């Protein structure tokens, strides 16, 4: 990076406006801060820039997921997941929690953090009883936009695939992982992951399909990063239609991928073949992982 290439809030605002973000927009922000370059003031400045553009009638939502533990660990320890538990979802996810007006989901694990007009509506009813990605589902029906800011050297998923997988009822073999949580003064409860995950390589390969179906609203740059803005309702509609025709539409093509080949109810992979593909690549840990997954299930918190 050039020594004087500091990106200011004003420059960010200009580039966010160029990306078609407007006053009143509802945004799902997924931002790799370091891919932008050196932002004056860091992650907080990025959030402020978006808030300035969308104004008081807009809403921003970020992932604010918390780590999970194995059932064996949870039986011995009583550590609690609550509003103050740090997220593992990156710099922006933790910077937004420093804003006094932020609201965070009541869901014990798949928390979302949000600021703006719809903040209370999105988070108050997102509880242990809700589907993990219920907030994103609500956003789809409100014509929200997903904003991905990412490194040009990385692949990117712009979809709403987790929402689609939930709506389609797709099941995955999972190990028992979770947290303890508490509502009000009630006794602590155990909560285990009850949703499916997915393979990022598989999600990333869907980008050309979203583009073909008119779900991509803008592609450009923010600082040194790429930005893609997409229409969440359109990506979801395409995914649900696709999933009804072919449940494997979000699978990657890698014959060694344990997730796609072995973990779903409709996975068609053969255990010995997946193990052999990994052994050929000298990925012995993945070969053993395949064996564990086949007989017990996968650990994958997202
Ligand atoms: Zn895969």
Residues 275, 154, single domain; the answer is no
Q: Write the pLDDT tens digit of every residue in 47-74.
A: 999 999 999 999 999 999 999 998 889 9
Instruction: Using the mean position of ligand 1's atoms as its centre, give its distance from the Cα of residue 276 in Å.
Output: 16
Is residue 75 domain-resident?
yes
How high is the pLDDT of residue 21? 98
How much of the chain exceeds pLDDT 70, in percent? 97
Indicate if the pLDDT at residue 247 is higher than 80. Answer: yes
Indicate if the pLDDT at residue 3 is higher than 50. Answer: no
Residues 15, 145, single domain; the answer is yes
Instruction: Using the mean position of ligand 1's atoms as its centre, give its distance from the Cα of residue 200 in Å.
Output: 7
How high is the pLDDT of residue 293? 86
Please name the residues in contact with 5: beta carbons below 8 A apart, sequence gap of 6 or more: 37, 38, 224
How high is the pLDDT of residue 1? 47
Q: Which residue has the tokens 């949703």?
A: 195
Q: Where are the alpha helices (DSSP H) in the chain?
A: 9-18, 33-36, 43-54, 71-76, 91-96, 119-124, 134-141, 161-168, 200-204, 207-212, 232-245, 258-262, 271-280, 284-295
Per-residue DSSP letters for 289-301?
A: HHHHHHHT-B---
Choose the weakest-confidence range: 83-92, 144-153, 195-204.
Answer: 83-92
Number of domains in the chain: 2
Indicate if the pLDDT at residue 157 is higher than 60. Answer: yes
Among 219, 237, 252, the domain-final residue is 252
Residues 169, 54, single domain; the answer is yes
Instruction: Using the mean position of ligand 1's atoms as its centre, give its distance from the Cα of residue 273 in Å.
Output: 15
Is residue 1 domain-resident?
no
**Total-model pTM:** 0.92
Backbone angles phi, psi at 74, to 5 degrees: -65, -25
Residues 139, 263, single domain; the answer is no
Is residue 126 domain-resident?
yes
What's the whole-number average pLDDT of the chain?
93
Q: Write the pLDDT tens digit of every residue in 160-219.
A: 999 999 999 999 888 889 999 998 889 999 999 999 889 999 999 999 999 999 999 999
Residues 47, 178, single domain; the answer is yes
Indicate if the pLDDT at residue 302 is higher than 50. Answer: no
Instruction: Using the mean position of ligand 1's atoms as its centre, give its distance from the Cα of residue 255 in Å.
Output: 8
Instruction: Using the mean position of ligand 1's atoms as its centre, give its distance from the Cα of residue 285 in Å.
Output: 16
Residues 79, 202, single domain; the answer is yes
Residues 132, 275, single domain; the answer is no
Parent domain of 121? 6-252
Indicate if the pLDDT at residue 92 is higher than 80. Answer: yes
Is residue 302 domain-resident?
yes
Q: Of the candidates 102, 242, 115, 227, which has an alpha carbon nearest to the alpha carbon of residue 170?
A: 242
Is residue 89 domain-resident?
yes
Q: Which residues surround ligand 1, an ion (CB under 5 A)?
A: 199, 202, 252, 257, 259-260
Instruction: Using the mean position of ligand 1's atoms as its centre, give its distance from the Cα of residue 293 in Å.
Output: 14
Is residue 144 domain-resident?
yes
Token pair, residue 158, equals 């712009």
What is d(CA 166, CA 148) in angstroms, rounded to the nearest whole number?
22
pLDDT band at 300 (very low <50, low <70, confident <90, very high): low
Q: Which residue has the tokens 């370059």?
A: 37
Token pair, residue 188, equals 């602590």
Instruction: Using the mean position of ligand 1's atoms as its centre, give its distance from the Cα of residue 250 in Å.
Output: 8
pLDDT band at 104 (very low <50, low <70, confident <90, very high): very high
Instruction: Using the mean position of ligand 1's atoms as its centre, give its distance from the Cα of residue 252 in Å.
Output: 4
Residues 157, 296, single domain; the answer is no
What is d(CA 152, CA 155) in angstroms, rounded to the nearest whole number?
8
Instruction: Using the mean position of ligand 1's atoms as its centre, give its distance from the Cα of residue 199 in Å.
Output: 5
Instruction: Using the mean position of ligand 1's atoms as its centre, give its distance from the Cα of residue 256 in Å.
Output: 8
Indicate if the pLDDT at residue 4 is higher than 80. Answer: no
């Amino acid at each position: 990076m050039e020594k004087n290439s500091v990106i200011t809030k004003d420059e960010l605002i200009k580039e966010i406006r160029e990306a078609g973000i407007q006053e009143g927009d509802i945004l799902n922000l997924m931002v790799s801060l370091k891919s932008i370059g050196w932002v004056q003031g860091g992650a907080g400045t990025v959030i402020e820039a978006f808030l300035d553009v969308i104004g008081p009638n807009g809403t921003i939502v970020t992932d604010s997921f918390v780590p999970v533990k194995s059932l064996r660990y949870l039986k011995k320890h009583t550590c609690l997941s609550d509003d103050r538990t740090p997220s593992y979802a990156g710099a922006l996810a933790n910077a937004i929690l420093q804003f006094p007006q932020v609201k965070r989901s009541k869901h014990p694990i798949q928390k979302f953090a949000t600021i703006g007009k719809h903040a209370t509506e999105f988070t108050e009813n997102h509880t242990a009883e809700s589907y993990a990605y219920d907030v994103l589902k609500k956003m789809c029906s409100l014509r929200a936009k997903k904003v991905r800011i990412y490194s040009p050297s990385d692949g990117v998923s712009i979809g709403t695939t987790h929402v689609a997988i939930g709506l389609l009822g797709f099941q995955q073999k999972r190990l028992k992982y979770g947290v303890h949580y508490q509502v009000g003064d009630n006794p602590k409860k155990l909560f285990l992951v009850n949703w499916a995950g997915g393979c990022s390589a598989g999600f990333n390969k869907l980008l050309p399909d979203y583009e073909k179906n008119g779900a991509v609203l803008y592609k450009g740059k923010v600082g040194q990063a790429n930005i893609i803005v997409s229409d969440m309702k359109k990506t979801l509609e395409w995914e649900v239609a696709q999933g009804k025709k072919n449940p494997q539409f979000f699978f990657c093509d890698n014959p060694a991928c344990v997730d796609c080949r072995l973990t779903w109810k409709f996975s068609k992979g053969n255990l010995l073949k997946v193990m052999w593909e990994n052994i050929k690549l000298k990925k012995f840990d993945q070969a053993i992982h395949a064996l564990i997954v086949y007989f017990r299930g996968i650990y994958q918190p997202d």
